[in-house]
Amino acid sequence: MVRKPNPTQSVPQPTAKTSRPSPEASDSAELEAAVRRVQSKYSGQLGVALTNPRGDRSASPAEYGSLSEGPAWSTAKVPVAIAAAKNSGVSAEMRSAITASDNAAADSMWRALGSPVQAGAAATAVLRQGGDQETTIETEVTRPGFSSFGQTRWSLSNQATFGANLQCIAGGTAVSALMGQIAAGQNYGLGSIPGAHFKGGWGPDEKGGYLTRQFGFIPGEKPGTFLGVAIAAKPSDGSYETGQAMLTELAKSLIKLRGFGGTC
């Protein structure tokens, strides 16, 4: 199923030069079929959204599958890290939080941004600069034992937009470089695509079933171009391992769409 979200509000930055702005009918049908195939093979929910850098805001992200949003989990470490990078540059904690998904390091970055309200405002401002005009970083702990920002509700559509614009905003280049150095064991899914820069997040719902998600950008066919993408899986068996397998199999179909990249 293809969903076309409402266009996000226009903002001054970033600008973009795009090649082909969205998948053509044949490519869309192929990706939609791939989503159905993976869902059928593993059973569960699967979703993908993709878009170019958003200088041309007349086109919404293309979105496929039955899963469209959920808790951000560790993908929320990216806007937190960019907010921190604006203040202090790249730190050892930032590197650990992004490349190894170190929770203690991410919590330290969060606290360094001030009170929870201040930290949330700083990270939300990063999202706005990256073209996501809807998501607000959660500042209250809604589930004991988990960070507040990790429980932010983040749609795949908005996340793909932010991923497409990562290299186009202040602090984004440094953090996105770290997203190209993800540790072994976390480089499934988008990590199977050569040149992908991404961050993953995963965690259980109240019944123990895992959501596994990733977002970032993959290189386009033309040098210097890239495509923002967000993928997520929620398998029926509730396991993190099955979620990984679903994302890796889905990623094989995304390689064929690299001709739809753009630039800042």
Region 21-41 average pLDDT: 79
In the numeric block, the tokens 């991404």 are attached to: 198
Residue 80 has pLDDT above 90, yes or no: yes
Q: Judge whether 20 and 52 are in contact, CB under 8 Å.
A: no
User: What proportions of the chain, in percent to the nearest 5, are helix, strand and coil?
Assistant: 45, 20, 35
Cβ neighbours for 36, distance < 8 A, ≥ 6 positions apart:
none
User: Which stretches of 101-222 are assigned E, i.e. beta strand?
Assistant: 153-155, 197-204, 210-219
Least confident segment among 50-64, 97-111, 127-141, 186-200: 50-64
CB atoms within 10 A of CB 104: 9
Identify the residue whose tokens are 């079929």. 33
Instruction: Evaluate if residue 182 carries a pLDDT over 80.
Output: yes
| Dihedral Cα 238, 230, 115, 14, nearest 10 deg | 180
Give the global pTM.
0.88
What's the CATH code of the domain at 244?
3.40.710.10
User: Over the stretch 161-172, which tens digit does the pLDDT of each residue have?
Assistant: 999 999 999 999
In a domain, 18, yes or no: no
Pairing of strands 62-65, 226-235: unpaired
Look up tokens 């495509």; give the residue.
227
pLDDT range class, residue 19, cuts 50, 70, 90: very low
Across 49-64, average pLDDT: 76
CB-CB contact of 89 with 112 (8 Å)? no
Give me the DSSP letters along 67-116.
Answer: --EEE-GGGGHHHHHHHHHHHH-S-HHHHHHHHS--HHHHHHHHHHT-SH
Burial of 194 (0-12, 13-18, 19+ CB in 10 A): exposed
Question: How long, in residues, is the chain?
Answer: 264
Cα–Cα distance for residue pair 30/260, rounded to 1 Å: 15
Q: Is residue 182 part of a domain?
A: yes
Is the pLDDT assigned to residue 40 strictly greater than 80? yes
Q: What is the mean pLDDT of residues 170-194?
A: 96
User: Quick check: is 174 in a domain?
Assistant: yes
| Dihedral angle sign, alpha carbons of residues 21, 25, 27, 32 | positive
pLDDT exceeds 70 at position 160: yes
Number of domains the chain is built from? 1
pLDDT given for residue 117 in this prediction: 98
Q: Is the pLDDT confidence value at 12 over 50?
A: no
In a domain, 237, yes or no: yes
What are the pLDDT digits (tens) for 222-250?
888 999 999 999 999 999 999 999 999 99
Which residues have C-beta within 8 Å of that of residue 14, sequence separation ≥ 6? Answer: 53, 54, 55, 130, 131, 165, 168, 169, 264
Residue 159 token pair: 């996340």
In a domain, 21, yes or no: no
Classify residue 14: in a domain, yes or no: no
Amino acid at 235: P
Task: Give the integer Cα–Cα distance in Å for 197 and 164.
Answer: 11
Q: Is the pLDDT of residue 8 over 60?
A: no
Strand partners, 230: 49, 215
Confidence of residue 179 (pLDDT cuts 50, 70, 90): very high
Measured on CA atoms in the order 180, 59, 135, 147, is the torsion positive or negative?
negative
- Print the domain residue range for 82: 29-255
Mean residue pLDDT across the chain = 89
